[in-house]
Amino acid sequence: MPVLSDRDVRKLILEGKIVIEPLDLEEQLMPIGIDLRLGNEFRLFNTQAKGFIDPAKDGIAELTKLVRVKDGEPFIIHPNEFVLGVTKEYVKLPDDIAARIDGRSSLGRLGIVVHSTSGHVDPGFEGRLTLEISNIGRLPVALYPGMKFCSLIFEKLTSPVEKSYKEFGKYVGQREPLESKIAEEFRKKRD
């Protein structure tokens, strides 16, 4: 799939085919994508609640806590810590465009990993993007809501998908970092 250039991304945004809100196009448009900013919400894991997470069982939400950080205040992520974050921007993709979340080198040099596994955004996705943030460095790092945090790189599909994410996705329309809903997949197998 070809990666879209800045001129293609600008055109699709101005035509309303790709929606990113709020967006300062001149500030956030990069040669092959859009820089997205860190939102104010973080979902933390309560490591004292249980000895382990069982993805086949409900109750993952009870192992997490949503924290909102005010603009201008830092969220401190400690070494070996994993949290869910969210982009400030709401993203809506058409059925013939996919995207990839990519980390920024400046944050990587501090030990910050922007996404653990799920770096792709399906065609038809709509919502704020959940970020699977880790600190693999040796020192705590301050993260600030509104800071440029990751890049969204767009890819044009050869044709629109038959089954859009908006028809089956578990996280459609999300506005905050949601906990894993993997237990739904296990329930479907049992039913």
> What confidence tens digit (pLDDT) does each residue in 117-170 have?
878 999 999 999 999 999 999 999 999 999 999 999 999 999 999 987 676 666
Q: Which domain range does residue 167 map to?
A: 6-190
Q: Is 132 noted as a catalytic residue in this protein?
A: yes
Residue 145 lies in a domain: yes
**Residue 82 near residue 112 (C-beta atoms within 8 A):** no
Question: Has residue 77 been placed in a domain?
Answer: yes
Number of compact structural domains in the chain? 1
> What CATH number should be reported for the domain holding residue 169?
2.70.40.10
DSSP 8-state class, residue 81: -
Q: What is the pLDDT of residue 13?
A: 98
Residue 36 phi, psi dihedral angles, 5° rounding:
-105, 150
Per the residue annotation, which of 27, 132, 167, 176 is the catalytic one?
132
Asked whether residue 96 is assigned to any structural domain, the reply reads yes
30-54 confidence digits (pLDDT tens): 999 999 999 999 999 887 666 777 7
Residue 144 lies in a domain: yes
Q: What is the pTM of this model?
A: 0.88
pLDDT at 55: 75
Half-sphere exposure of 118 (CA within 13 A, CB side): 10
Structure tokens that stand for 37 in this block = 């900013």
Strands (DSSP E) along the chain, which ranges? 19-21, 29-30, 33-37, 41-45, 64-68, 75-77, 82-92, 97-103, 112-113, 120-121, 126-135, 141-143, 148-156
| Terminal-residue alpha carbon distance, the chain | 36
Alpha carbon distance 133, 112 (integer Å): 7
User: Per the domain annotation, does 1 fall within a domain?
Assistant: no
Neighbour tally for 176: CB within 10 Å: 17
The number of C-alpha atoms within 13 Å of 11 and in the hemisphere containing its C-beta is 6
The reply to whether 95 falls in a domain is yes
